[in-house]
Amino acid sequence: MAHSARCGGNPSQLRATFPRAAAGRSTELLVLFHAVNRPHFMHSPRFILSFASSVLLASSFAAEKSLSPKTAGHKPSDGPGITVNPHPHERGNAVAGLKVFRFETFGNEGFWTDAARMPKGMADAKLTPKQALEAGLQVDIEAIEPAMRAAMGKELKTDMSPANAPMLHDPMVTVKLIEANAVAGIVPVDTNGDGKMQIAPAGPDKVGISCAICHTVTDKSVFELPGGGSIGKRIDGLAATTLNVGKLLAVAANSRAFYPNVHADLSPAPTASRAGKKPLNSDSTEADFDAFFTDPELYPVGTFDETQDGNGNPVINTALFRQDLAAPYGTAGEFSKLDDISNGSFTTNLDPTTLVTPEGRAFLKIKAGAAGEKLADEYEKILKATGVTGYPFVKAKMQGKPGELANIVGRRVDEKKLLDMNAYLDALPAPKGAKVEAKLVVQGKKLFETNCTACHNSDQSKFVPPNLVELKNIWPAYQPKVIAKRQPPLSPVQDSPGIFDDKMIIVDASDRRDIRGVALPLLLDLARRTVFLHDASVTGGLDELLDPKRGEDAPHPFYFQDKGERAAVIGFLHSLDTGEDASLSVRPFKPD
C-alpha cells in the first residue's frame, strides 16, 4: 500500500534559465489506470485506486522554483493559509484498528496461497531468514518465543555464515517466523480453524498480506541489515523504504497471477514503452515474469505497484501515520476518503482477481475502454492456464456501481473495520524530527517560508493543503497527447513522453471533479529517505531533489542554487515533526 507526492501554486513567474534536461525514461504510451498511492497501502495494492501503499506516496515535496531564493521568492508565510479541511473522514476504534492494520486480510490469503502460491514458492526457493531480511522484510521480536529469540540473538552477533548461524540459513525457521506472526505484513491464517498454525504447502493453513507489509518497520533494537530489513519492536505507519517487493513477488510459484501489475502487451490498444523491454502477455512464461519483477530498473527497491493498469510502474512506499493530516489520498489525489482508498486496496490490489468478475470488467471498461477489456481477457487466460479457480477471494459485500470511489469493483469490505483502521492511522504519531543545529534550522525555515509555502505548510501539525498541483506546473516537460475520450466527469486518457505522469494517465481526480495533477505530501520522516518523487526518479536524497543540476524541465524543478542555502533548507526539512510525543504507540485524540 502506498501514498504520494504533491505540489501547488503557479511558479511560472519564478522560472529561470537552465540547460534543458531529459524528462526521464521514455514511455510512448501508457496504459490503463494509475491507482492510488499517496498515503496508502499496497498499496497503496494500489488498484488501490495506496493501502498503502502508499504512498504513494510518492514522497516528494514542492517548493517555489528558484535559482536563488534571494531573487525568486514570495512574501514570507507559514503556508497557503487554508484553515478548513475539506476532506474529513469518519473514525472508529483505534485499538481495534491496530489489529486490522497489522493482521486483517479480508480473505486475500486465498489469492496469495492458492493463486500466486507464495508459500509454495518460498518452500521451493528454500527462503531463509537471512534472505528474507535481505529482501527488506521486518521481524517483530516480541512475537518470537523466548528460546528462538535467544538463539537468533546469538547468531546475529556472528558473521552470519551458515556454519556460525545455522538458524538464519534454515528455510524452516522462516516458516516458523511466519507461523508466529512475526514477519510484518505476512499473515498466517488458521484456515481449518483447528487452533494450530501450519502453513502451506506442508500444512492446511494459508498466508495472506496486510497493510503492514509496506507501512511497518522495527526499532532495529535487535538487528538491522544495511539496505535490508530489521529485527526489533514494531513501529507502525513508517514506510518500508528498503522492502524489495519485486523480489518477493518473483518468489511466488505463480508470479503470472500478478499480470495486471506488469508491463503488459495490450495491443492493439496503446502499450507502454519501457526502454526496449518486451511487454508481457498471456503466453509469457514464469521466467519472463520473474525477470520483470527482479529488474531493479523496472521494480526499484522501496516501491510497490499498487495499480492494476498493465503499465508496470511501481511507486515509492509512503508513510501511513497521521492520516488525519494527509487527505486527499493517492498520487493524483483521487480519493478524498481514507476508508475508500483502503477498500480499493483490499478489493483490487491485494486480490486482483476481482478484475475478471463482471463488476471488475465493467470498471476496467469505464476507465480504459478496449485496453481495459484486453487486460481482463489476458488475465483470465493466465488464471485458467495456471489452474486458478474459486476467485475472487476477497470477503466483501456487493455494493454500488463499478467505478464509484467507495466500491471501485462493486465490492466493499467490512465498514466497521475500515473505520477502525481510519482511527488507528489517524492516531499513529509521526516520528520525531532529526536533531539539526538550531542555527541551520532557523536559516532553513526562513528560506523555506520565503520560497516554498505557496504550496506547503512549514508547520507539519497542520493538515496538508488539499489543493492539487497541475502536472504542467510540477513538470514543465509535460506534453500530453490525448489517447481517448471518456464520459464526463472523467478526463480524457492522455499521456506524455517520460514516466512521471504514468500514474495519472488513466486515474486522476476527475472522478471527483478535480484537476489532473499531483497531491501534496506530509513533510515528515524525511531524514530517513534517500529516494524522492512518486516514480522514485530522484535517488540522491533532498540534495539532489533541490539541486538545479536536474534541469528546468525535470519533475519538481524547484531549486536552491547556493549549496549553503540548500543545506539549510534540507536541515530544516529533516528537523520537521508535529511537535507531539513520538514515543507513544498511539497518540491520544478527541473523538469527532
pLDDT digits (tens, 9 = 90+) for 293-347: 999 999 999 999 888 888 888 999 999 999 999 999 998 999 999 999 999 999 9
Whether 66 has a pLDDT exceeding 60, the answer reads no
- pTM of the full predicted structure? 0.88
Residue 582, domain member (yes or no): yes
Least confident of 43-47, 377-381, 504-508: 43-47
Least confident of 48-57, 393-402, 565-574: 48-57
Task: Give the pLDDT of residue 484.
Answer: 87
Whether 4 has a pLDDT exceeding 70, the answer reads no
Q: In percent, how much of the chain has pLDDT > 90?
A: 78
pLDDT higher for 419 or 591?
Answer: 419
Residue 155, domain member (yes or no): no
What pairing do the DSSP bridges indicate for beta strands 397-398 and 517-518? unpaired
Q: What is the gyration radius of the CA atoms in the chain, in angstroms?
A: 22
Least confident of 150-154, 269-273, 540-544: 269-273
Whether 437 has a pLDDT exceeding 80, the answer reads yes
Q: What is the pLDDT of residues 554-568, one digit of tens each?
A: 999 999 999 999 999
Task: Give the pLDDT of residue 307.
Answer: 81
The count of structural domains within the chain is 1
Within a 10 A sphere around the Cβ of 138, how many other Cβ atoms?
A: 28
Closest CA to 319 of 504, 526, 467: 526
- Average pLDDT, integer, range 491-515: 91
Task: Give the pLDDT of residue 585.
Answer: 67
Task: Give the pLDDT of residue 304.
Answer: 93
- Average pLDDT, integer, range 537-553: 97
Confidence of residue 587 (pLDDT cuts 50, 70, 90): low
Whether 482 has a pLDDT exceeding 80, the answer reads yes
Residue 225, domain member (yes or no): no
Confidence of residue 135 (pLDDT cuts 50, 70, 90): very high
Least confident of 26-40, 133-147, 189-203: 26-40
Whether 34 has a pLDDT exceeding 90, the answer reads no
Residue 127, domain member (yes or no): no
Residue 171, domain member (yes or no): no
Residue 436, domain member (yes or no): yes
H-helix or E-strand containing 449? helix 438-451
Q: Which CA distances in Å does 55 have to 308, 321, 416, 520?
A: 15, 11, 23, 11
Confidence of residue 271 (pLDDT cuts 50, 70, 90): confident
H-helix or E-strand containing 186? strand 186-189
Whether 521 has a pLDDT exceeding 90, the answer reads yes
Residue 182, domain member (yes or no): no
Task: Give the pLDDT of residue 510.
Answer: 95
Indicate the average pLDDT of the chain. Answer: 87
Task: Give the pLDDT of residue 53.
Answer: 31
Task: Give the pLDDT of residue 73.
Answer: 62
Within a 10 A sphere around the Cβ of 154, how many other Cβ atoms?
A: 11
226-235: burial string, b at 16+ Cβ within 10 Å, e else: eebbbbbebb
Q: Which spans in 452-587 are helix H?
A: 471-474, 541-545, 563-575
For residue 296, whether the previous peptide bond is cis, meaning omega lies within 30 degrees of 0, is: no
552 within 8 A of 20, measured Cβ to Cβ = yes
For residue 119, whether the previous peptide bond is cis, meaning omega lies within 30 degrees of 0, is: no
Whether 134 has a pLDDT exceeding 80, the answer reads yes
Whether 46 has a pLDDT exceeding 50, the answer reads no
Positive/negative CA dihedral, 160, 233, 573, 530: positive
Q: What is the pLDDT of residues 210-258, one digit of tens each?
A: 999 999 999 999 999 999 999 999 999 999 999 999 999 999 999 999 9
Task: Give the pLDDT of residue 376.
Answer: 98
Residue 468, domain member (yes or no): yes
Domain range enclosing 61? 1-116+211-220+237-247+262-592
Task: Give the pLDDT of residue 483.
Answer: 87
Confidence of residue 47 (pLDDT cuts 50, 70, 90): very low
78 within 8 A of 24, measured Cβ to Cβ = no
pLDDT higher for 349 or 58?
Answer: 349
- Average pLDDT, integer, range 159-175: 98
Confidence of residue 588 (pLDDT cuts 50, 70, 90): low
Task: Give the pLDDT of residue 310.
Answer: 87
